[in-house]
A and B are shown apart, each in its own frame.
Chain A
Amino acid sequence: MDFGLTPMQEEIRTNVGRIMQRFGEDYWLARDEDHCFPDEFTDAMAEGGWLGIAMPEEYGGAGLGVAEAAVLMQTVAKSPGAMSAASAIHINIFGPNPIVVFGNEEQRQRWLPPLIRGETRTCFGVTEPTAGLNTSSIQTRAVRDGDQYLVSGQKMWTSTAQEADKILLLARTTPREECERPFDGISLFYADLDREHAQVREIPKMGRHAVDSNEVFFDEMPVPVGDRIGEEGKGFQYLIHGLNPERILVAAEAIGIGQEALDRAAKYARERVVFDRPIGQNQGIQHPLAESWAELQAAWLMALQAAWLYDNGQPCGSEANASKFLGAEAGKRACERAMITHGGLGYARELHIERLYREVLINWIAPVSPHLILSNIAEKALGLPKSY
């Protein structure tokens, strides 16, 4: 049993760490304040070839596994960039997986290289106002009209849609009531986000201001049949194929943010002197930080195990879910503890802790809530009756 990172994973950490050093805390604080997308950062990552880390080599990617992608995303998030940096590239890392696995050769040739080179920007249109975790109840319809579909409906929480050229879009092609099972009749498209027929409205939110979240309204947006991935009606199966890697990456990001907060808290606790001694000499400060260290280490091992299972072709649903659950809880708690360690300063913007805290909450809530993760683990790992 080898718990060490491979030389390749070490190289990823070192080299991505160098890129992250070019974008300091002032850069990310400014993006949080001006709400501007971190183009310089995404350009640097594209230039280094990092966007294609998990994409096949024949399309310009590196063909590495989810474990390597997790090391990449943990390194990106363990920086003052936190979730703003991670979300700016997150979709490129594993989002195109349905294209890789279920797209045809012509589609892969057409879509993957520009995504890997960072030339096209894509977003993810799955969640709807009335369909969050219960994806089968999506209302967005794609109606066949000759050699195209006309898409109408509404998506919610679509990140990066302000500037995206493309959208990975889930829509019903057969009404739910006409389907045998609720998840049938849903199709997956990789479509041009045609702004003549799609209106993108930004959702004001608590944090991660550099990367926009949106509502997208479609009004008979034409999508050529050639932009449908795989067979009509099987889109949901295609989508869930990529969910486990996504959970692992979200875990890695939460863990990275938690580690960044913890490092800052430990540094502050070593240096801040109150009553003639560093506050870090007090066990009341030490113990919560040490507990966070232990929680983050444990969550990281869980994430790496889930990634290892996935990369070795083994089932990893419960492990991927557990890593997202543990990673998000550990990351969130580390940020809270970093804040109380800093006292009032933790609440001040200039120390960045409050920003890390606002951003790690995304990993706690999305893409699946802790409640549903636990329900799923109860059902799948413990054999308890399904509760949802």
Chain B
Amino acid sequence: MNIIVCVKQIPDPETPAASFKVDEQAKKVIPAQGVAPVVNPYDPQATEAALQLRDAAGGGKVTVVSLGPDSARDAIKHALAMGCDEGVLINDDAFEGQDNFQTANALAKAIDKIGEYDLILMGRAAADWDMGVVPIGVAQALGIPAVTVAKSIEKDGDSVKVERVLDDGFQTVKAPLPAVVSVSNEFGEPRYPQLRQIMMAAKKTVEVWSASDLGLSPDEVGEGNRVLPLEALYIPKIESNVEIIEGESPEEKAATLVARLREAKLI
């Protein structure tokens, strides 16, 4: 079974809030000094799912793909250390500032270039922008089904059976292969690479493809060609107030509290 896993390197979500800054003029996040970027926390789960499916099928290949700066090689190396077979980095300054739809398009081109695949797996969302649209965008570009927020994935003949996480329960769906499936944290803990695997991964070469290698023209990529224009970028100011409800008795306090909550349209 041939599987392609897409991974993303993101700013560390554990970065202290005080170090998180945006340049409102340039509409860009300013990388926090001295905090190394990390693999999007959902992506090792997608990688884990890919490795389990490959091994259950008794063979095949897992290729890991990432679109990002040169440092995104680390995210690929991590997936290789977990047990993926090959890695591809899509790296080009021309991608700078582009949106999720352009990224989905570029990933779809890379997946086409890789060729044979039965399944494409990704994390349910990237923890930086938390939009979760790339899996659907890739499926759209490739003209194949997308199943999102998977808790478990099972190959079933020429299709895939996926248990999805909903707000109020679980849903089991079946989709014909090839398909895109996004994996949620409910899938379970990913494996920890062993030192020996890390060393083997360090020796593996990661292929690097540019925009032109993927047949993308300059008027499709980059900030100037965003499908989703970014109007403004700022850190919202959150104000909080505390009001102590006074009253003679617990009953009176409760009644006042209910009235206040109604006024605030919270109940």
Contacts and interface: CB of A to CB of B under 8 A. Distances in A.
B196 A62 contact: yes
A47 B196 CA distance: 11
A12 interface: yes
Contacts, number: 47
B20 to A, nearest CB: 13
Contact of B202 (A7, A50, A53): A7
B81 A11 contact: yes
Interface residues of B, number: 17
Contacts of B38: 14
B196 A14 contact: no
A170 to B, nearest CB: 30
Interface in B58-116: 74, 77-78, 81
Interface string B197-208: 011011000000
Contacts of A48: 192-195
Contacts of A50: 195
Given A267-B16, A270-B16, A270-B18, A8 B202 contact: yes
Contacts of A7: 74, 77, 202
A129 B158 CA distance: 72
Interface string A1-12: 000000110111
Q: Which of A8, A12, A14 has the most CB of B within 10 A?
A: A14
A52 interface: yes
Contacts of A52: 195
A13 to B, nearest CB: 9
Q: Which of A19, A48, A50 has the most CB of B within 10 A?
A: A48
A8 B16 contact: no
A222 B77 CA distance: 50
A7 B77 CA distance: 10
Contacts of A49: 194-196
Q: Which of A19, A49, A53, A270 has the most CB of B within 10 A?
A: A49
Main secondary structure of the interface of A (DSSP, over half): helix
A351 to B, nearest CB: 18
B135 to A, nearest CB: 25
A18 interface: yes
A44 B78 CA distance: 18
B36 to A, nearest CB: 8
B194 A47 contact: yes
Contacts of A47: 192, 194
Interface string B219-243: 0000000000000000000000000
A267 B36 CA distance: 18
Interface string A259-286: 0000000010010000000000000000
A15 B18 contact: no
B2 to A, nearest CB: 26
B78 to A, nearest CB: 7
6 contacts: A11-B78, A14-B38, A14-B78, A48-B195, A49-B196, A52-B195
Interface of B: 16, 18, 36, 38, 74, 77-78, 81, 192-196, 198-199, 201-202
Interface of A: 7-8, 10-12, 14-15, 18-19, 44, 47-50, 52-53, 62, 64, 267, 270
